Amino acid sequence: VKPATVPDAERLARAALARVVEPGDAQVGALVRKAGAEAAWDAVRTRDPSAGAAVLALSRARVEAARPAEDLDVVTNLGGRLVCPGDAEWPPALDELEDLRPLALWVVGPLELREACARAVGIVGARAATRYGEQVAGEWAARLAEGGRVVLSGAAYGIDGAAHRGALAVSGGTVAVLACGVDIAYPRGHDGLLTQIRRTGAVVSEWPPGCAPMRHRFLTRNRVIAAATTATVVVEAAARSGALNTARSALALDRPVLIVPGPVTSAMSVGSNGLLRTEGVRAVGSVADVVEEVGRLGVDLAPALRGPNTARDALTAVVSRVLDAVPVRTPRGPASIAQAAGVEVGVVLRCLGPLELQGLVERQGAGYRLTKLDRPTAS
Amino acid sequence: VKPATVPDAERLARAALARVVEPGDAQVGALVRKAGAEAAWDAVRTRDPSAGAAVLALSRARVEAARPAEDLDVVTNLGGRLVCPGDAEWPPALDELEDLRPLALWVVGPLELREACARAVGIVGARAATRYGEQVAGEWAARLAEGGRVVLSGAAYGIDGAAHRGALAVSGGTVAVLACGVDIAYPRGHDGLLTQIRRTGAVVSEWPPGCAPMRHRFLTRNRVIAAATTATVVVEAAARSGALNTARSALALDRPVLIVPGPVTSAMSVGSNGLLRTEGVRAVGSVADVVEEVGRLGVDLAPALRGPNTARDALTAVVSRVLDAVPVRTPRGPASIAQAAGVEVGVVLRCLGPLELQGLVERQGAGYRLTKLDRPTAS
């Protein structure tokens, strides 16, 4: 059975729309839902009234900037892919955003996004976190990751960074959802951290490569953090923290919002403690409390997929060798591919899943071959 | 209108029962409810089967120890009184304890108990509190007291002491509910604190004078802290803290249980943070949150009655002078009493309320006279 993959034309249309209209717009979402992505993009591109005046107004300034094939190339060169609704890797949890659902997600990193989100816990909080907050975020992230959870956060300074680092410290899965292109190192000081997450986890964004982080994009991004996870844990949040916005998104989606209590004398806990007074929000005093709230991992959930824990170049090299060894037409089994690629069969098995989910290879019987997408004639 | 006062015989019966049976027993409570206190005491004293086998068994060891008149004298000599259900000063909130309602309360201090409980906020927590907990307890108690609340606690080391001290620091009202006689300085190190509360607030106990604090008495006492207040604020509580027991009593009575969140890394907040995960428990991040939870003080509530902020001897002297100036038969107005006592009329007005509620003076028209209770022939 070939995993679900959206047609190339739709993928290109979604890539184009992602650049031409700002993600997170319900009017564009409604248009895509009604007309389909290809027709929506056609209408936007040709300035057809069927797109609706609002969407045409939104897309006017940038319609000439569309360059979907280039954007796909940039991300493919980073070892990434564009995950669209309809792809096997698309996390169904995001569909609950309805017309605010992302048009598509640019993803770099070996974690399979659908599976990662199914076991993801969001850990968010203050940038200007205290030592207490960073300590809790880091420790809990490590213990959650050890328990097979994926730690999802926003790669900001403070709590976000501590959470990602905690997961990485135990070689656990972590996903960074950015408010800028997946190729942008933002914040600057997290360049190394993001590189590490691209290697072993996943860096994700609604915005095409090159897009700069802008203030409003963080708020737009937060709904994805809320929707992509099984629960949102707020570790520290000042009175007007963006983490409160993420929490409100999660509440609107009826997802658990879990608060790490902090001293009432700490400005960095004013927002998070305050959330405790909101209907439906729960306090958590330990990792065990978090696990209790999000439910035990089902036995049907396989261990998280991981890319090799090596340098990015090494990963790219290995994946490329495997990909090069996958035949164009007649499928071959993993052992045969391993022999051709000159790598262990285990490495092939680790690479084939993500390659398949990126739509680069497809399964046929017990073997694999390249999809049309990866054949020279297709792009 | 003369304020409600229970007959002497009933007061003596309750005093006797309080010494002979351990307070907080539902079987004794049921007997008193059905038979009345006098008949209940008669049955216990005469070992009459109508008391029921269980109550007779409970009271067997101590029935000879009853000395109600002496106990009343001891507390009267401390400037105190025995407040019984039926007395005007009895806090109706305690009736919700039903058969666990105290038989009576020994009270020392100028605060009028009924009025104090109507505006009381319980602040409880760990004995081995941290600086954080004591700081919050002290500051919040001071601000609540400044706002006209009465701070009620258990006079223990740690949070309790900090709460009482916070209220006293702003000359606010505070009530200590003890698990031993009101004449006992327990804990020893709080001798001075208890003396101060007896002078300006109220020290309260179900146990007759001389009774020692015993482990089980603290748990029994906690239900009174929960029942006598409009809300219970838990500042810090370790995993097995007695404050959790108070909180559970409050929940059982459907009274607000308010938790001051603390760091999840602090052993002294494990119990209190844990309570946040209990249905019906709310977090409070500020005094404003507490006030929001217990409701604003109604305009009908008069400012808290206070004794003079002077030494106990001075207070006793002033009250004695006022009492001496109250006529035996023909009522006199406050101005006339003030003249006779040689004190300001404001002092007379401050003293008459408590004296009236202690059943020592009674109002007749615009004047006051001694009640039978205070006339030589009556006792």
The reply to whether B132 touches chain A by the CB within 8 Å rule is: yes
Indicate yes or no: CB of B262 within 8 angstroms of CB of A260.
Answer: no
Average of pLDDT values for A330-334?
Answer: 86
Q: What is the pLDDT at residue B282? A: 96
The length of chain A is 379
Q: Which of B159, B276, B287 to mutate to test the interface with A (most CBs of A within 10 A)?
A: B276
Q: What is the pLDDT at residue B307? A: 40
Is the confidence at residue B298, as pLDDT, over 70? no
Q: What is the pLDDT at residue A302? A: 37
Whether the complex's predicted ipTM surpasses the cut of 0.90: no
Q: What is the pLDDT at residue A274? A: 96
Task: Please tell me the least confidently modeled range out of A72-86, A287-301, B266-280, B327-341.
Answer: A287-301
Is the confidence at residue B313, as pLDDT, over 60? no
Among A261, A269, A277, select the one facing B289 at the smallest CB separation.
A277
Is the confidence at residue B215, as pLDDT, over 80? yes
Among B132, B135, B274, select the one facing A285 at the smallest CB separation.
B274
Q: Quote the CA–CA distance of A150 and A117 in Å, as a whole number.
A: 7
Is the confidence at residue B2, as pLDDT, over 70? no
Is the confidence at residue A371, as pLDDT, over 90? no
Tell me the pLDDT tens digit for each residue of B138-156.
999 999 999 999 999 999 9
- Give the orientation angle of helix B26-35 with respect to helix B37-45, to 10 degrees: 120
Average of pLDDT values for A134-150?
Answer: 97
Q: What is the pLDDT at residue A360? A: 75
Q: What is the pLDDT at residue A372? A: 63
Burial (Cβ within 10 Å: 0-12, 13-18, ≥19) of residue A260 = buried
Tell me the pLDDT tens digit for each residue of A27-50.
999 999 999 999 999 999 999 999
Distance of CA B133 to the CA centre of its chain: 24
- State chain A's mean pLDDT as an integer: 89
Average of pLDDT values for A203-210?
Answer: 98
Is the confidence at residue B341, as pLDDT, over 90? no
Backbone dihedral angles phi then psi of residue B58, each to the nearest 5 degrees? -60, -35
Average of pLDDT values for A153-159?
Answer: 98
Is the confidence at residue A317, as pLDDT, over 60? no
Among B135, B277, B285, select the one facing A283 at the smallest CB separation.
B277
Report chain B residues whose CB lies below 8 A from the CB of A260.
264
The reply to whether A289 touches chain B by the CB within 8 Å rule is: yes
Average of pLDDT values for B275-288?
Answer: 95
Please give the structure tokens belonging to residue A147.
């328990």
pLDDT tier for residue A309 given thresholds of 50, 70 and 90 = very low
Q: Is B356 helix (H, G, I), strand (E, B) or coil?
A: helix
Is the confidence at residue A129, as pLDDT, over 50? yes
Q: What is the pLDDT at residue B358? A: 62
Is the confidence at residue A299, as pLDDT, over 70? no
pTM tops 0.90: no
The reply to whether B267 touches chain A by the CB within 8 Å rule is: no
Q: What is the pLDDT at residue B185? A: 95
Is the confidence at residue A91, as pLDDT, over 80? yes
- Selection from A131, A268, A258, A151 nearest residue B265 by Cα: A131
Is the confidence at residue A376, as pLDDT, over 60? no
Pairing of the two strands B173-178 and B231-234: unpaired
- State chain B's mean pLDDT as an integer: 89
What radius of gyration, in Å, describes the C-alpha atoms of chain B?
Answer: 21
Q: What is the pLDDT at residue A321? A: 74
Is the confidence at residue B311, as pLDDT, over 50? no
Backbone dihedral angles phi then psi of residue A179, each to the nearest 5 degrees? -105, 25
Q: Which of B132, B134, B140, B264 to mutate to test the interface with A (most CBs of A within 10 A)?
A: B264
A contact residues 237-266, partner B, Cβ 8 Å cutoff:
260-265
Q: What is the pLDDT at residue A329? A: 80
Q: What is the pLDDT at residue A236? A: 97
Indicate yes or no: CB of A277 within 8 angstroms of CB of B264.
Answer: no
DSSP 8-state class, residue B297:
P
Q: Which of A123, A276, A282 to mutate to test the interface with B (most CBs of B within 10 A)?
A: A276
The reply to whether A135 touches chain B by the CB within 8 Å rule is: yes
The count of other CB atoms within 10 Å of the CB of residue B296 is 9
Tell me the pLDDT tens digit for each residue of B155-178.
999 999 999 999 999 999 999 999
Indicate yes or no: CB of B270 within 8 angstroms of CB of A277.
Answer: no
Is the confidence at residue B378, as pLDDT, over 50? no
Indicate yes or no: CB of B261 within 8 angstroms of CB of A265.
Answer: no
Listed in sequence order, the DSSP H helices in chain B are 8-20, 26-35, 37-45, 53-59, 68-77, 113-118, 131-146, 159-169, 191-200, 215-228, 242-252, 270-275, 287-294, 312-325, 334-341, 345-357
pLDDT tier for residue B299 given thresholds of 50, 70 and 90 = very low
Q: What is the pLDDT at residue A31? A: 97
Q: Quote the CA–CA distance of B212 and B202 in Å, as a whole number.
A: 19
Is the confidence at residue A305, as pLDDT, over 60? no
Q: What is the pLDDT at residue B295? A: 83
Q: How would you write chain A as a 3-class SS string?
A: CCCCCCCHHHHHHHHHHHHHCCCCCHHHHHHHHHHCHHHHHHHHHCCCHHHCHHHHHHHHHHHHHCCHHHHHHHHHHCCEEEECECECCCCHHHHHHHHHCCCCEEEECCCCHHHHHHCEEEEECCCCCCHHHHHHHHHHHHHHHHCCCEEEECCCCCHHHHHHHHHHHCCCEEEEEECCCCCCCCCHHHHHHHHHHHHHCEEEECCCCCCCCCHHHHHHHHHHHHHHCCEEEECCCCCCCHHHHHHHHHHHCCCCEEECCCCCCCHHHHHHHHHCCCCCEEECCCHHHHHHHHCCCCCCCCCCCCCCCCCHHHHHHHHHHHHHHCCCCCCECHHHHHHHHCCCHHHHHHHHHHHHHCCCEEEECCEEEECHHHCCCCC
- Measured in angstroms, the CA of A235 and the nearest CA of chain B are apart by 10
Among A262, A270, A282, select the one facing B263 at the smallest CB separation.
A262
Q: What is the pLDDT at residue A304? A: 41
**Distances from the Cα of B27 to the Cαs of A255, B21, B217, in angstroms?**
48, 10, 17
Among B132, B273, B283, select the one facing A285 at the smallest CB separation.
B273
- Measured in angstroms, the CA of B259 and the nearest CA of chain A are apart by 10
The reply to whether B133 touches chain A by the CB within 8 Å rule is: no
Tell me the pLDDT tens digit for each residue of B343-366.
777 778 777 876 776 667 888 888
- Selection from A244, A302, A303, A306 nearest residue A276 by Cα: A244
Q: What is the pLDDT at residue A358? A: 62
Task: Please tell me the least confidently modeled range out of A207-211, B132-136, B302-306.
Answer: B302-306
Q: Are A286 and B269 in contact (CB under 8 A)?
A: no
Indicate yes or no: CB of B285 within 8 angstroms of CB of A263.
Answer: no
Q: Are B218 and B227 in contact (CB under 8 A)?
A: no
State yes or no: cis peptide before A187, omega within 30 of 0: yes
Report chain A residues whose CB lies below 8 A from the CB of B136.
264-265
Q: What is the pLDDT at residue A340? A: 76
Q: What is the pLDDT at residue B308? A: 38
- Selection from B272, B224, B273 nearest residue B102 by Cα: B224
pLDDT tier for residue B297 given thresholds of 50, 70 and 90 = low
Q: Quote the CA–CA distance of B322 and B316 in Å, as a whole number.
A: 10
